[in-house]
Each structure stands twice: as structure tokens, then as C-alpha cells.
Structure 1
């Protein structure tokens, strides 16, 4: 959350104001607090982002693909393969 906030250029206070939360609440979400889902959704929406559930077995691959925006992009052929594994493999199981 902190990385996204900084990437978008928000301070904790400005993000709190946009979401009608307190700065302390934003800090808790970024720290070790246990925020409500509604708070997380409000903060991500204010930063023009979405939460995407990722199966744990794909987490390392997704993190690698999304790693810092200033790093070299992964080879194009790897992105569709990861997406196909995530979204198309389940469709194949339905046909059985």
C-alpha cells in the first residue's frame, strides 16, 4: 500500500482526506494494523488501483511481473503464459 501511495504521489494525509479516513488509519493499513476490507478498498480506489486475488502458487511469478516500474519489462511471451495459467486453466477443468 505504501509503495502504491508513493508511486501515485500521495502523502498519508492527502490520501486520508480523499478517502475520509484519518492519517492514523492510513498509517495503520501501511503498517501492521488489521484494517477492514472497506478501508483497503477505499484506499486502493482512491489511488486508481484494484485488489486482485492471486493464487499462492502464482504469487512469486506475479510479483516478478509487477516488480518495480523502472526495471526492465519481462519478456512478452512470459506474460500471456502466466495469464493463461491463471485464467484459462480453470476453463479447461470445467470441460472434463
Structure 2
């Protein structure tokens, strides 16, 4: 989200697209936004499954629920990054 705001605020083109020279930020945002949140959710699930073997482990389903919401919301800024990448390949309007 920070990359999207920074890219949008530092460009002079009309919304919703960023300047064509900032395409590396759009690619980085497209990759990092959903991938990192899905990775965090996967890490949480693996850690909770491994923790079930330990009798001192306290299961925290609220963490997984919160991460699921974050993963869902992370696709919203990813759509903006996809639109910027598509604008680049379409020749820039």
C-alpha cells in the first residue's frame, strides 16, 4: 500500500495510472502485496499445526482469522498495480 501511495503521489499523470517510468514500483507492489501476506498466513498455519504437538501450545485462531482478512484486503492495492502494469504494456494512455 505504501508503494502504491508513494508511486501515485510522485507522478504527474492523471489518476488512476502512475507515470510509465515508475513501472518497477508497480511490479514490486504487485509481487510483494499479496505474496507476503499469503506467506504470513501460510507460516501461521504451519506454526499452529506444529504447535498442536506441544502440550504447552495455546491455539490462537484469531491470528489466522486476522491474517485471512489481511490477505483478502491485500488484493485491492494489487489490482491498482496490475492496472499500472497493463497500462505500460498497452502503450500508456
Richer in helix (by share):
2
TM-score if structure 2 supplies the norm length?
0.29
The structure number with the bigger radius of gyration is 2
Question: Higher relative contact order at CA 8 Å, sep ≥6: structure 1 or structure 2?
Answer: 2
